[in-house]
Structure 1
């Protein structure tokens, strides 16, 4: 199937002498204002980055089936018709507006099978006869209102977006045609389309970019000296890693786990390169030649293949449901982190750039085959490290919370047993208490969760890039040591805060902090302008919530034995609260703006509580939290003051700045490993 994947700029798609038939079984056109607005805005956003080959916008996939025809290629559109229809409407609008970049667009490429109203409506739009009165040239019985409404939305949205973003219509048209790219996937002639639709309907979505990426890597490995085994190795690794909610070992059969993660152990990473990984997986399958063709099921259903392929009923014994663990990132964005770690290069960490990034760094590399093999090996290593050394959200026994656990295999106590796997703390004793502030497992968990809740989106998780970079480099030399890992993460947090968020105009880039400075904070206490920091910590000036969360982590270390603090955990708090309100209730004194907005009067709480408590005086807020869990350790310390006035705000603020400045001890850096 990978032989039938083509990257097509929109101009090539619409200029090609090909008809795309929308079959009767497809649902009607359904995109409305929201989807059309997002599409246009995304194109503009990528266009403004610079219309170069490296800035192509990969808009998604178009899955087609080649019909038998005489003299002309006809593709039956089986997935992606909403996007294809919208792009055709957009091109028609630009053509009708006289854009020179579309003078060649003289034939409509989209056809609607057994839908005469749809065909007539689109033909009228394409010919421009609906201008300027959209309803005046077709009788109601000849009009498809959904398609017509899509065109009206484009008429309304595009001019406004071009004006708001100061982009000319001609520049937009050129970028759309030359740099917006669709991946056209032609399914094999022998494909059972009924089976395809059964699967696609259960998914409820089109092919994802990472699925197309897998197919292109499979295609690249045709050039390897041992293509069959190499492609099968890629397939097994990809399917095992694609489910971010499952520990990677569980994506392999028991024999494969023994070969890759240690016999009777499953807690080590044995192979040292792709070839040894391939050999281990082949040997664990009995040494035979593996089937390496990329089937339809394998392309469109990532994750299912690996668990079904194992065929091992014992795998499910004693295992929790897959939903037990929820990862902090999705697979597409994880792939970019792995590529960035492997190359030690400034790869963008936004999955909108996924295909473009792999085009540049993998498929256009000097040796694409070797680069693909190296990436596959690094992917498996990084997923293993991610599972063992990065937090997950764990749902167990009716509750949920952050966890930092590794997979542990426990051999049978007698000859009759088959052994079992379980999840235990990654570091320290297996039964270490979760709220033990002295345990390094708990400290690492708290710091990682502080990072995550500060940047809860799936993109641009630079803290995760820092963690994976360290884990990957450290693991090359020895097993990851908890003390060194903790000191490194604390150093990265301090560097993010002082070298970026509080650095003013001299702030460092994330790549510089992580990959060039190896996470070491450059500003020592005596080099920091504390007066400038005070102004940068004022309300509406704090660049990232990690400033609050890093401070809460340091305060948790100091006050963790106090009962309200011992059970504290980082949650997705996004609202900066003024403890003394900006707008007090009637009859209460109002403080000067520079006082009420000072860092000493601020803490991070949930949005719902901020809305409910915003105008309450400190005494009322303290009373509320008497029976409710604290949102912030800083907040807890503020509430310990009996009198919250100007002096208390100043004193507390200075004390908090001192805590930030003191921070943990900086680690020593030797080579690429923190010690």
Structure 2
């Protein structure tokens, strides 16, 4: 039997009676929220834009056993995404229900089975039956919780959208299904899989298409700019230093950086420096130099003292294809051109072909646009690193920080470093709010913010971010975020009418998570100077579960409860992580309160809950008073003119 590959949908999997075993040698489920969120948002985007096919990648399988009316395969590669698809079917159901399991005489056969892991099988068996009090791998529990949150958000957007997306996934999501012979040496196969080359990415293809249009003399220096911008896991000045041997200390001064006029921020200065380096590197040698062999009396790279540069390990909040599309949006508005329809990583080449590499441009115009775009890309990337949060790796995990570049003198030598801030900064905290509460695959708020930073050299950036957040996300305006952010691209100080009316309605677990995050920031901004260090050092973390303070299932002996009429109101709710939601579950108020106090002695997880649990009892009156106070904090904050 030879290796066989074919495109299949989940509907094909059901029709062909395929089942899948996760072998014991495979890792258990390891995907985290960001990966699941990206997949779900990509699927929703493909559905919203009426894509006929959504290609998800490939799975590699080998036959395990033949069964009655079907076959069981071992999943060798691609098990993380395939398991995620199966868990999506558990939550969304509807058209995906046949993909969950097949009814059989003795016991139903799950579509995905974890070999020799009966605890995982039992967990999923109970979950399918609607029993969710079991324990499994933490990543599995968190994944199901996040998918459930995603489903509830879909239901608030459009009637039956959840079921429509379930049908889309069942019929339109395609995988490359590759089956290898049973006699395959799996050890050798794993070695090949682990050492295979990385597929050429779309942004690399785009780079080749753009640079190919330039004059050969310009290609190298613009390639350096592009490459420096493309490496998102380190700061751009380090990238250009390593790639093009640019001496960044000659282009950076602390005082100039305060007003955004440092030479390093301007692409033309980098291009000039690169051109000078190229000229110096090819200095002709005299006959005397040649005859002297190694005794060259010329400047070599070793003659140039090394720069000392230090920065913490970082992880970007967006990908390079996303940065390219944010930059393209700015480029288009600068040139009074229509906006792109949507930021979408998978459509990068198509978007640039339609909105940038248009056929109606002359060769000269195209060359001018390409060089102008790459220079703008440098400026955007520079302010992105200067003003936008990064995931900074610390000893106890990661946190969002803005680490400023600074130059300092030590014993006559200059050094450059990215310094962590000494205290919690509002601009970073507000961006962290936006990161956690907005689509991870688009972050539309970034486009107008980056344009403002470029055009205004970063001045009054925090004030503008407050203005943008308030008027974009607390607005009564409806419509897609890409359309609404174009208003701010056209006019910085665009304003809207604020609307907090939904905070007075009983939305329960369907409350938009943004408003919980927003309230936390407002409470920190308003009260931190009157509170202890825990308030001053508050940080946002990923939260995906709406918790009822007075539980939905109440014990008759609990006197600290609210009525049915108050149960699902904002005053009786808070946003928590999946783990906290599971820990608190249906515990009575006093037990939840004590657990919160015990777990928050050093670091606060929720400012709203800190205020709630300052009360030693809980009822309709106190919950309503808390709600009114929280709404008042929000409305007072929104009433202040920012710019």
TM-score (norm 2): 0.63
1:382 pairs, out of 380, 383, 389, with: 380
Q: Judging changes above 3 Å, is the alpha-carbon distance between structure 1 residues 203 and 277 closer, same or farther for their aligned structure 2 residues?
A: farther
1:492 lines up with 2:468 in the alignment: yes
Q: Show the 5 A alignment for 1:165-176.
A: none
Match of 2:434 among 428, 434, 451: 451
Q: In the aligned structure 1, how far is the partner of 2:551 from the partner of 2:542?
A: 22
Tell me if the contact between 1:554 and 1:659 (Cα under 8 Å) persists in the aligned partners. Answer: yes
1:542 aligns with 2:524: no
Give the number of the structure with larger relative contact order, counting CA–CA contacts within 8 Å between residues 6 or more apart: 2
Task: Give the distance between the partners of 2:44 and 2:525, measured in 1 at CA.
Answer: 46
| Separation of aligned partners in 2, 1:202 and 1:488 | 47
Aligned to 1:573, the other structure's residue is in SS state coil
For residues 205 and 321 of structure 2, what CA distance do their matches in structure 1 show?
11
Pick one of 306, 331, 350 that aligns with 1:356: 350
Give the corresponding residue for 2:523.
555
The answer on whether the counterparts of 2:547 and 2:574 sit within 8 Å (CA) in structure 1 is yes
Report 1:335-346 matches (<5 A).
335-344=324-333, 345-346=339-340
C-alpha displacement of 1:566: 2.4
CA distance in structure 2 between the aligned counterparts of 1:330 and 1:506, rounded to whole angstroms: 22
**Superposed CA offset, 1:126-174 (max 9, x none):** xxxxxxx999xxxxxxxxx99xxxxxxxxxx9xx79x9869999xx99x
Q: Which one of the candidate residues 574, 587, 607 is aligned to 2:578?
A: 607
Unaligned runs of 5+ in 1: 1-23, 61-79, 87-132, 136-144, 147-156, 177-197, 222-226, 291-309, 426-431, 436-441, 669-674
Q: Pick the aligned partner of 1:662 from 629, 636, 639.
A: 636
Is the 8 Å Cα contact of residues 565 and 633 (structure 1) preserved in structure 2? yes
Are residues 315 and 352 of structure 1, via their aligned partners in 2, closer, same or farther at CA, if it must alter by over 3 Å?
Answer: farther
Contact 1:325 1:395 in 2 (8 A): yes
- Alpha-carbon distance between aligned partners in 1 of 2:314 and 2:167, rounded to the nearest angstrom: 47
Cα distance, 1:433 vs. partner? 3.1
- Evaluate the alpha carbon distance shift between residue 553 and residue 50 of structure 1 in structure 2; reply closer, same or farther with a 3 A threshold: closer
**What secondary structure does 2:587 align onto?**
coil
Alignment of 1:290-305 (within 5 A): none
Distance (whole Å) between structure 1 residues aligned to residue 589 and residue 276 of structure 2: 68
Structure 2 residue 350 is the aligned partner of structure 1 residue 369: no
Q: Name the CA distance, whole Å, in 2 between partners of 1:202 and 1:445.
A: 39
1:205-244 alignment to 2 at 5 Å? 205-221=198-214, 227-244=215-232
How many Å separate the matches in 2 of 1:496 and 1:389? Answer: 20
* 1:319 and 2:310 correspond: yes
Alpha-carbon distance in structure 2 between the residues aligned to 1:506 and 1:45? 12
Q: Name the CA distance, whole Å, in 2 between partners of 1:657 and 1:388.
A: 34
- Asked if structure 1 preserves the Cα contact closer than 8 Å seen for 2:340 and 2:355, the reply is no
Tell me if the contact between 2:322 and 2:345 (Cα under 8 Å) persists in the aligned partners. yes
Q: Does 2:555 correspond to 1:585? A: yes
| Residues 590-638 of structure 1, C-alpha deviations (whole Å, 9 max, x = no match) | 6433301011111111111011102112211111122213321111111
Contact kept? 2:265, 2:379, Cα under 8 Å = no
Distance 1:382 1:42 in 2: 25
Match of 1:465?
447
Match of 2:275 in 1: 282
User: Do 1:487 and 1:667's aligned partners in 2 also have CA atoms closer than 8 Å?
Assistant: no
The separation in 1 between residues aligned to 2:445 and 2:403, in whole angstroms, is 19
Aligned to 2:542: 572
Tell me if the contact between 2:448 and 2:485 (Cα under 8 Å) persists in the aligned partners: no
Instruction: State the alpha-carbon separation in 2 of the partners of residues 28 and 45 from structure 1.
Output: 31
CA contact (8 A) 1:604 1:631 kept: no
Asked whether the equivalents of residues 395 and 401 of structure 1 are also in contact (C-alpha less than 8 Å), the reply is yes
Which whole-Å CA distance do the structure 2 matches of 1:510 and 1:658 have between them? 26
Structure-1 residue corresponding to 2:123 = none
1:241-280 correspondence to structure 2 within 5 Å: 241-253=229-241, 257-258=246-247, 262=251, 269-270=262-263, 277-280=270-273
Q: Is the 8 A contact 1:577 1:605 kept in 2?
A: yes
| Residues 391/314 of structure 1: CA separation in 2 closer, same or farther (3 Å cut) | farther
Say if 1:493 and 1:550, in contact at 8 Å, map to a contact too. no
CA shift digits 1:286-344 (9 cap, x unpaired): 35689xxxxxxxxxxxxxxxxxxx999976856356xx111111111111111112222
Aligned residues: 484
SS in 2 for 1:410: strand
Deviation of 1:277 (Å): 4.7
Counterpart in the other structure of 1:645: 619
1:531 positional shift: 5.4
Give 1:354 shift. 0.9
Q: What residue is the counterpart of 1:407 in the other structure?
A: 405
Q: Give yes or no for contact 1:318–1:420 (8 Å, CA) kept in 2.
A: yes
**2:119 corresponding residue in structure 1:** none
Offset at 1:58?
A: 10
Instruction: Supply the distance in 1 between the matched residues of 2:266 and 2:252 (Cα, whole angstroms).
Output: 18
- Distance change >3 Å, CA 645–CA 509, structure 1 → 2: farther
Pairwise CA distance, 1:642: 2.4
**Alignment partner, residue 182 of structure 1:** none
1:400, CA displacement in angstroms?
A: 3.6
**Cα displacement (A) at 1:413:** 2.3
TM-score, length-scaled by structure 1: 0.60
Match of 1:333 in 2: 322
